[in-house]
């Protein structure tokens, strides 16, 4: 993240996104099966959701499964699918109590009927007029794929006469994108690598980015609060002279 300047007014934190990396390496470090790393990873999500509500964050967007993750071994993919189902079964009642609105985005059709019907149940059960937090989960998502699909679908609608070229602007792109948030204030990546890995390419244009060495299953509420405190103090200029 950029160095803080003499900035007396703290930045407002609306939209946070997290690349939860390091489950596999955490499992290896602890001589466990990779699925145990993902299992522990889900338990950390619960703590981070709680803290996001405490911090009055508007939305938390998590990278649970990328388009490229389909290239992993079938056993691992099946373990993640089972975890998604059990996380929905176990967590939805608590999310309802907390007024957390759950949304899944990406190519979820690839996950099959069991998960699609769970997703429908989770989304329809967690609709709130004033949610305490919007929790968005990327499943089968890739930033490049989303941009491609936006370009294709806008072009189709231009050809059909539904959209005129003059009306193509940022707001229209956001409407055609599957990503629920139009911009991200703070992006956190755990696991030690300093890259974006095809996550929210369009939406992170002016995000503050926090790269952390901790593996996701070791990520803690305290580290999360530290990222948020750093973010609040940073001078965000959006390319302007302030
Ligand atoms: C990255 O660690 C993690 C994933 C690709 C999967 C994350 C999925 C979950 C935590 C389960 C689903 C979550 C929800 C919220 C329903 P990695 O395996 O790439 O770690 P490595 O880089 O150390 O191998």
Percent of the chain at pLDDT > 90 equals: 95
In order of 2, 18, 52, the CA distances from 69 in angstroms are: 31, 16, 26
CA atoms within 13 A on the CB side of 70: 12
The neighbouring-strand residues paired with 210 are: 188
Ligand 1 centroid–CA 144 distance in Å is 20
Q: Which of 30, 54, 69, 185 is catalytic?
A: 69
Ligand 1 centroid–CA 83 distance in Å is 11
Closest CA to 96 of 115, 122, 120: 122
The architecture that CATH gives domain 13-221+228-233 is 3-Layer(aba) Sandwich (3.40)
Would residue 69 show up in a list of annotated catalytic residues for this protein?
A: yes
* pLDDT (tens place) for every residue of the chain, 242 residues total: 766 655 568 999 999 999 999 999 999 999 999 999 999 999 999 999 999 999 999 999 999 999 999 999 999 999 999 999 999 999 999 999 999 999 999 999 999 999 999 999 999 999 999 999 999 999 999 999 999 999 999 999 999 999 999 999 999 999 999 999 999 999 999 999 999 999 999 999 999 999 999 999 999 999 999 999 999 999 989 999 97
Among 19, 23, 133, residue to substitute to test ligand 1 (most atoms within 8 Å of Cβ):
23
Q: For residue 126, how many other CB atoms are within 10 A of its CB?
A: 20
Q: By CB neighbour count within 10 A (0-12 exposed, 13-18 middle, 19+ buried), where does 17 fall?
A: buried
Pocket of ligand 1 contains residue 191 by CB under 6 Å: yes
Task: State pLDDT tens for residues 70-87.
Answer: 999 999 999 999 999 999
Would residue 198 show up in a list of annotated catalytic residues for this protein?
A: no
Alpha carbon distance, N-terminus to C-terminus of the chain: 18
**How much is the pTM?**
0.95
Among 26, 29, 36, 38, residue to substitute to test ligand 1 (most atoms within 8 Å of Cβ):
38
DSSP-based three-state secondary structure for 20: coil
């Amino acid at each position: 993240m950029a160095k803080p300047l003499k900035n007396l007014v703290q930045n407002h934190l609306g939209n946070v996104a997290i690349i939860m990396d390091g489950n596999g390496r955490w499992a290896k470090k602890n001589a466990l099966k990779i699925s145990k790393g993902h299992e522990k990873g889900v338990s950390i999500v619960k703590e981070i959701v709680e803290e996001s509500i405490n911090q009055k964050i508007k939305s938390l967007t998590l990278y649970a499964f990328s388009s490229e993750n389909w290239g992993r071994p079938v056993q691992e993919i099946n373990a993640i699918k089972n975890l998604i189902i059990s996380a929905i079964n176990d967590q939805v009642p608590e999310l309802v109590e907390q007024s957390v609105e759950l949304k899944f985005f990406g190519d979820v059709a690839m996950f099959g009927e069991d998960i699609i019907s769970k997703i429908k149940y989770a989304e329809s059960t967690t609709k709130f007029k004033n949610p305490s937090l919007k929790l968005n989960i990327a499943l089968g998502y890739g930033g490049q794929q989303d941009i491609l699909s936006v370009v294709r679908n806008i072009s189709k609608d231009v050809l059909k006469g539904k959209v005129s070229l003059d009306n193509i602007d940022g707001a229209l792109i956001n409407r055609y994108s599957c990503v629920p948030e139009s911009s991200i204030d703070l992006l956190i990546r755990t696991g030690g690598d300093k890259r974006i890995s095809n996550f929210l390419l369009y939406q992170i244009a002016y995000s503050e980015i926090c790269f952390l060495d901790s593996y996701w299953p070791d990520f803690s509420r305290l580290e999360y609060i530290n990222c948020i405190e750093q973010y609040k103090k940073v001078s965000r200029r959006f390319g302007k002279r302030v």
